[in-house]
Structure 1
Amino acid sequence: MVHDTVRSPSVLRSTTFLRLWTATTASGIATWALPFVLGLAVLSRSITAVELGVLLAARTVGFLAAVPVSGVLADRYARRQVVLWSGLTSAVAAPVLAAFVGNSLVVAALAAAAMGAGQGACRPAFQALTAEVVEGDQRQQANAAMTLSVRVTTLVAPGLTALLALFVNTQVLLLGIGALWLVAALVPPAGTGLTAPGSGNGFVADFWEGVREARRHPWFLAGLGALTAVIATGYSATGVVLPLVSRDRYDTEAVLAGAMTAYTLGALAGALLIARWRPRHAGWTALSGLALYGFAPLSLLLPVHPFVVIAAYVVAGIGIELFNVPWFTATQREVEPSKLARVSSLDFLMSYGLAPVGLALIAPAISEFGAPAVLAVCAVICFAAPALAALVPSSRDFGPRR
């Protein structure tokens, strides 16, 4: 594949972008930290495994409920204000969760749902705000910088959080998550106000207007379908089958830890690469990267050396960022600015929102058909879905050819 490397002024020199990056990084750390901290609470016997499941389910419900609402609100009003109120919602819910976790499951679940709602509400608003404050030729670098912060967090934060847990209790850690949400709420810069007043026909009509905007872009529908399929199958295989294979085939937890670390390192490498690389056909490159995730379930299917599994997860990590960064950049470029938050909310709702469905179905499928058959199907879907999406003409460049 022929490609070009483009040198443009670094977006990291912009104070406005650094404020946005700081806020999105804080929200990313807070989003990651909540289930990890609650997991530590189970280990310390502050809560039970059942209570953990209820709290995480409540957070997921709050997230899914807030994403479409936020998409509409962020297109009606200033995106900066939506980010502010989303972050404040999670920040206020954090001390409530800290006070009632282990004491009142009902109140703690409501607080977890509120934190999930704040998390879900900020995602499309941040996407649209990025398009407002970053120039078009710098957005790929900006999106890569944001995803780099997420990957560094997932690599370094577990050890640091576990170390902190030796000195402070769950309640203090939850208050720390609330402080991160305050940063996410208060630090972002003001946008340029690329919003629309709405159709006047209500929330549902405005949301469907966003759906119609998404349908105007065949590459978006094809790519979203491929991403949803890969997350629902490949990610589910990682979440459910990898621990079993690590235990039963290799008789060690090292393969599980090594594969997850390798995935994060691969994603870091992929983000660094795509920050500077401008492929000639960005869409095909991105979809090819997405297809690389198929090597993860394939490596779990075959009786290979543990290092082959780890190498497969490195490749999958590289591929997922080769997809993510051009995908976000193209969405910010091609979608009507006043409808960008609604289209982004549809993206998050379909892809990551359906991930729990895949996780819920894969365990019964393994019980019914066996792990080899399920892994084979997951691998085929991971390879085939991006390939089918690439057949859509506008998928070659994620938009009209330039």
Structure 2
Amino acid sequence: MTEKAAPPSVFRNTAFLRLWTGTTASGLAMWALPFVLGLAVLERSITAVELGVVLATRTAGFLAAVPVAGVLADRYARRVVVFWSCLTAAVVTPVIALGMGRSLLLMAVAATIVGAGQGACRPAFQALVAEVVPESGRQQANAAMTLAVRVTTLVAPSLTALASLLVDARALLAVTAAVWLLAALVPPGGNGRPVQADATRAGFVADFVEGVREARRHPWFLAGLSALTVVIATGYSASAVLLPVVSRDRYDTEAVLAAATTAYTVGALLGAVLIARWRPRAAGWAALAGLGCYGLIPLFLLLPVHPFVLIAAYAVTGIGIELFNVPWFTATQREVEPGKLARVSSLDFLLSYGLAPVGLAFIAPAIDQFGTSAVLIACAVICFAAPAAAALVPSSRGFSARS
């Protein structure tokens, strides 16, 4: 592997700076909502059951909107899709506050629409990077985008908690709506025209299927997405369900839970900084090796290791996931036909994010049926094996048909 000189900072690109700001704002608003609703439970404005329903409907709206948004963002200017999706989330977020203590149905419907707004902007934001940043700067740009996501993951809960000292949950929802409005207004216009000149001649299903065909033209993409999907569905689910249990039962403290989750995010930040400048020769193999680091989590949840070893495993996994994410997004923007990029990106979000709840739903019954050790061993093997299998696809070496 060799290292090449990094291009000038993408933050000198005003259009990208606006896009980065808008993406950061949308991420902040998206991550803040669950914590605001959690505060509403503490205030007794809603119950824990109502919280679960609202978050579930938000996720359903997100997943339903992603494939639709992929088609729309390829039919029309991506900036327009970002504007209307974020504006929808901004307008409807206060409706959740109106339903607090009055109508669970109103809150659930509003959360579904907000989730749809959140999901609809994802493929458009991803495609806009390719429009406003030259190819030589996209890896750095994608690293900056994922860095923003990780920072908001750390900052959103803290800012929400601090703000709750001054205002109640209803007021915080209004603030969240204002952040969504910022996300709607700030991003740049890209090329300012429909990407598909003849898109209106085909129906939605035909357009979506065309995006699937485009994805199938890239074996490295199918292999990498399959690996990512099963790693998230198993490794992420095992961590979400069993880390709190291991922290309590093995180490007798919730501090390990907090430290491990924080270490993962800090590791991801370090990984984003590293991959912003590092250009491995076999970028795809390096990325898949980073994804394979996720196997460390179920492995060390299984083994009776010192808590610092478990925390270090989470940090390494965080580094590894960004060593995968950034080259993955960059390769998708480079290799996929521009007029189909949003649809292919929507498949990425739909499968990798969409199957995570499925994994969470099955992990507890699997533990009851087969035992914790067997489930953790299976998850570790899958997390190591899936990226290794993806690496066997010839074009996976550089995430390119030219590999």
Q: TM-score, normalised by structure 2?
A: 0.98
Match of 2:89 in 1: 90
Q: How far 1:194 moved relative to its partner?
A: 6.3
Superposed, which structure 2 residues align to 1:110-121 within 5 Å? 110-121=109-120
Supply the distance in 2 between the matched residues of 1:231 and 1:73 (Cα, whole angstroms).
27
Match of 1:154 in 2: 153
Superposed, which structure 2 residues align to 1:184-263 within 5 Å? 184-192=183-191, 193=193, 195-196=195-196, 197-198=198-199, 200-263=201-264
CA contact (8 A) 2:74 2:343 kept: yes
- Tell me the amino acid that sits aligned with residue 263 of structure 2: A
1:355-385 deviation line (CA, Å, top 9, x unaligned): 1000011011111111111111111111000
Superposed, which structure 2 residues align to 1:369-380 within 5 Å? 369-380=370-381
Supply the distance in 1 between the matched residues of 2:4 and 2:100 (Cα, whole angstroms).
51
Q: How far 1:337 moved relative to its partner?
A: 0.1
1:160-180 deviation line (CA, Å, top 9, x unaligned): 211211221111111111111
CA contact (8 A) 2:218 2:401 kept: no
Q: What is the DSSP-based 3-state SS (H/G/I as helix, E as strand, rest coil) of the residue aligned with 1:5?
A: coil
Identity level (%): 74
Q: Does 1:272 align with 2:273?
A: yes
Match of 1:314 in 2: 315
Supply the distance in 2 between the matched residues of 1:74 and 1:396 (Cα, whole angstroms).
29
- Tell me the amino acid that sits aligned with residue 395 of structure 2: S
Supply the distance in 1 between the matched residues of 2:91 and 2:128 (Cα, whole angstroms).
23
1:1-59 deviation line (CA, Å, top 9, x unaligned): x2213221111111111100000000111111111211222222221111011101110
CA contact (8 A) 2:75 2:200 kept: no
Supply the distance in 2 between the matched residues of 1:102 and 1:349 (Cα, whole angstroms).
33
- Tell me the amino acid that sits aligned with residue 213 of structure 1: E
CA contact (8 A) 1:194 1:338 kept: no
Give the aligned length.
Answer: 401
- Tell me the amino acid that sits aligned with residue 123 of structure 1: R
Q: How far 1:153 moved relative to its partner?
A: 1.6
Superposed, which structure 2 residues align to 1:10-21 within 5 Å? 10-21=9-20
CA contact (8 A) 2:75 2:194 kept: no
Supply the distance in 2 between the matched residues of 1:59 and 1:158 (Cα, whole angstroms).
18
- Tell me the amino acid that sits aligned with residue 53 of structure 2: V
1:253-283 deviation line (CA, Å, top 9, x unaligned): 0000000000001000000000000000110
Supply the distance in 2 between the matched residues of 1:401 and 1:216 (Cα, whole angstroms).
13
- Tell me the amino acid that sits aligned with residue 264 of structure 2: Y
Match of 1:74 in 2: 73
CA contact (8 A) 1:199 1:205 kept: no
Q: Does 1:401 align with 2:402?
A: yes
CA contact (8 A) 1:199 1:206 kept: no
Q: TM-score, normalised by structure 1?
A: 0.98
CA contact (8 A) 1:289 1:319 kept: yes
- Tell me the amino acid that sits aligned with residue 118 of structure 1: G
**Stretches of structure 2 lacking an aligned partner (at least 5 in a row):** none
CA contact (8 A) 2:24 2:148 kept: yes
CA contact (8 A) 1:260 1:313 kept: yes
Match of 2:46 in 1: 47
- Tell me the amino acid that sits aligned with residue 223 of structure 1: G
Q: Does 1:368 align with 2:369?
A: yes
Match of 1:181 in 2: 180
Q: What is the DSSP-based 3-state SS (H/G/I as helix, E as strand, rest coil) of the residue aligned with 2:354?
A: coil
Q: What is the DSSP-based 3-state SS (H/G/I as helix, E as strand, rest coil) of the residue aligned with 2:3?
A: strand
Supply the distance in 2 between the matched residues of 1:118 and 1:202 (Cα, whole angstroms).
22
1:48-71 deviation line (CA, Å, top 9, x unaligned): 111011101110110111000000
Superposed, which structure 2 residues align to 1:327-342 within 5 Å? 327-342=328-343
CA contact (8 A) 1:91 1:178 kept: yes
Task: Compare 279-288 and 365-374 and name the one that shifted more.
Answer: 365-374
Q: How far 1:101 moved relative to its partner?
A: 2.2
Supply the distance in 1 between the matched residues of 2:376 and 2:34 (Cα, whole angstroms).
26
Q: Does 1:325 align with 2:334?
A: no
Q: What is the DSSP-based 3-state SS (H/G/I as helix, E as strand, rest coil) of the residue aligned with 1:278?
A: coil
Match of 1:390 in 2: 391
CA contact (8 A) 1:132 1:194 kept: no
Q: What is the DSSP-based 3-state SS (H/G/I as helix, E as strand, rest coil) of the residue aligned with 1:279?
A: coil
